[in-house]
A and B are shown apart, each in its own frame.
Chain A
Amino acid sequence: MSEKKTDGEILLDIRHLTHIFSFPKRVTVKAVNDVSFQIRRGEIFGLVGESGSGKSTIARCIMNIYRPCAGEIIYKGVNVCDLKQLRKNKRMLDTTRQLIFQDSSSSLNPRMKVCDIIEEPMRIQRTNPPRGSYRAEAEFQLYYVGMDASYLDKYPAELSGGQRQRVAIARALAMEPELLVADEPIASLDVSIQAQIVNLFRHLKKEHGFSFLFIAHDLSMVEFLCDRAGVMYKGELVETAPVKKLFENPQHPYTKRLLAAVPIPDPGRERARKGNRW
């Protein structure tokens, strides 16, 4: 990591974010309600909560896919909700923020080869490839996520779930982002593949100081990977704390309930706990 990037600098500041979906017949759903948190440089921030609690909506607001109804999202001093500032800093915002989706089979174009998929963001941004050609750059990124050059000319359908997720990560890394927003990147993978992807994230953070917003519902992975975590419940952020504190001493009753639902890989203890629950 270069000296200029000091740890602890606030990279992303979310202030009182609210997003409301409107449906016909005046039905509205408050998906995100007055949420505030910060992500520091070089930090992995975990966002947990059950499905429908608004985690993905926050990710999409950060990436300018949704326009929030109220609140501010300050990324590197730029308010991304302000269209004027957004236009002015478009290139910086487009290159330094990247999103990884949950379902890699639908977020990769099945008609494009792996090399085209990884090159696409570079072509769109017309970046100067530091390694000579776009293909060499794609090869480097692929190698970086643990796959060799033989995969460059394959189609996504020829890859396994874990490999596809790696390609999606390589595509995000091609722009050398500073903030990676990962929306349940491991939810659809096998346990042993999950471990590989989580190790990759750890490595990226340690060696390159990437900052992550890691969205998940698997608490044990969040405990292992993240520095700080926030718990979402029905659109509200009910608790934010360093991971260790959150798991050892949960404050909010919903956090306690969430922690109690994590299965323990130990039949004796799991059964003893079951007995208590009934």
Chain B
Amino acid sequence: MSELLEVKNLSVSFSTSSGEVQAVRNVSFSLKAGEVLAVVGESGCGKSVLCKSIMKLLPSNAKIKQGSITVNGADITAYRERDMCRLRGKLFSMVFQDPMTALNPTMTVGAQIAEAVRVREPGISKTGLRDRVMQLMDLVGIDSPGERMEQYPYHFSGGMRQRSVMAIALAGNPRILFADEPTTALDVTIQAQILDLFRDIQKKLGTATVFVTHDFGVVAGVADRVAVMYAGKIVEIGTAEEIFYDARHPYTWGLMKSLPAFSKGQDTLYTIPGMPPTLVNPPKGDVFACRNEYALEIDYQEEPPMFRVTDTHYAATWLLDERAPKVVSPVGGIKV
């Protein structure tokens, strides 16, 4: 399979009154057609900024400092707003976290989906438009679309709203879908339905998906590959099996250990000590070192490169250097 999206050494900074915030630092990854990549990390580690910088939806004080974004073989790093407008919706689109703020409360749901369709296909006839909207609502699993399209977002439950947002995102048949914590605002049963829907749509349409979340439980069901982000960097990337059964980075271990499924029968849950660093002046060396119980001396001086574990699995920790002491991973496939 060819690479649909390739991001190389991307760095994004925000200029604020307290200095330059380095939200994304030297991130490289690629996405194949029809693949689901999950991006996992704590809040404030740059997951959303990464998605938005690829779609160029960042506020004006943000700047891509270096790196390149290649989509479908074309370098879009220097694209201007007018060029991006042509790509958005057709090539990639985005599903946001909170379906209530993503939808317009004064328009019917049908009209909002129709708007997205009309932008992509300006010449579409009235009946053709209606059919397409019905078809989209059917695709995302909204029952009796004929009646539902006349209703307003407040008639819809949280799960139904998220389905409508997905219908809008899928209106232009995008090749890549960015989903920014699409299930965080939903409860468990609805979350399971939406996750099933993501898998279903991905199988039907072959849409590649970048799935942003902080919950490892969600990742296991949807992702083909997983990237773990910390303080603006990807610290570990690999296939879902490699990350869940053979994680190498101490931060990945920490995130997994804090899941209640891992601490079953124990008295307390594991927590990663300390707080994520501010990204105004990231500390020297490995930014995770001060929270890392396995930190080596070199962690405080030099940033670790991405070490290769297998052809698909890379991790940025000095523990993988041949000179480092051998550490046995505390997590290896969670037994539930």
Measured CB to CB, the residues of A under 8 A from B are 50-52, 160-161, 190-196, 198-199, 202, 217-221, 223-224, 257-258, 260-271, 274, 277
Contact = CB atoms under 8 A, between A and B. Distances in A.
Nearest to B259: A265
A192 B271 contact: yes
Interface stretch (B7-15, B100-108, B184-192): B184-192
A271 B187 CA distance: 21
Nearest to A203: B268
B187 A267 contact: no
The winner among B214, B255, B268, B272 for most chain A CB atoms within 10 A is B268
* 5 closest A-B pairs by CB: A263-B217, A195-B269, A261-B192, A217-B187, A224-B260
A62 B158 CA distance: 26
Interface in B240-262: 240-241, 244, 254-256, 258-262
Contacts of A258: 188-189
A192, A193, A260, A264 pick with most chain B CB within 10 angstroms:
A192
A264 B256 CA distance: 12
A184 B196 CA distance: 25
Contacts of B244: 265-267
B221 A161 contact: no
A224 B269 contact: yes
A257 B189 contact: yes
A264 B220 contact: yes
15 contacts: A191-B258, A192-B254, A192-B271, A195-B269, A196-B271, A217-B187, A219-B188, A220-B261, A221-B260, A263-B195, A265-B220, A265-B256, A266-B220, A269-B336, A274-B199
B102 to A, nearest CB: 17
Contacts of A224: 260, 263-264, 269
The prevalent SS among residues of B at the interface is loop
Contact of B192 (A51, A161, A263, A269): A263
Given A220-B260, A258-B188, A199 B271 contact: yes
User: In terms of DSSP, what is the predominant structure of the interface of chain A?
Assistant: helix
Contacts of B256: 265
B146 to A, nearest CB: 24
Contacts of A194: 258
Nearest to B186: A51
A262 B188 CA distance: 6
A190 B47 CA distance: 13
Nearest to A271: B221
A191 B195 CA distance: 18
B191 A263 contact: yes
A218 B188 contact: yes
Contact of A50 (B187, B255, B334): B187
Interface in B150-164: 157-158
A267 B217 contact: no
Given A270-B221, A274-B196, A264 B269 contact: no
Interface string B35-55: 000000011100000000000
Nearest to B218: A263
Nearest to B224: A267
B268 A202 contact: yes
Interface string B194-206: 0110010000000
Given A51-B157, A202-B267, 14 more contacts: A51-B187, A52-B157, A191-B214, A191-B216, A192-B42, A194-B258, A196-B271, A218-B188, A220-B259, A224-B264, A257-B189, A258-B189, A263-B221, A277-B196
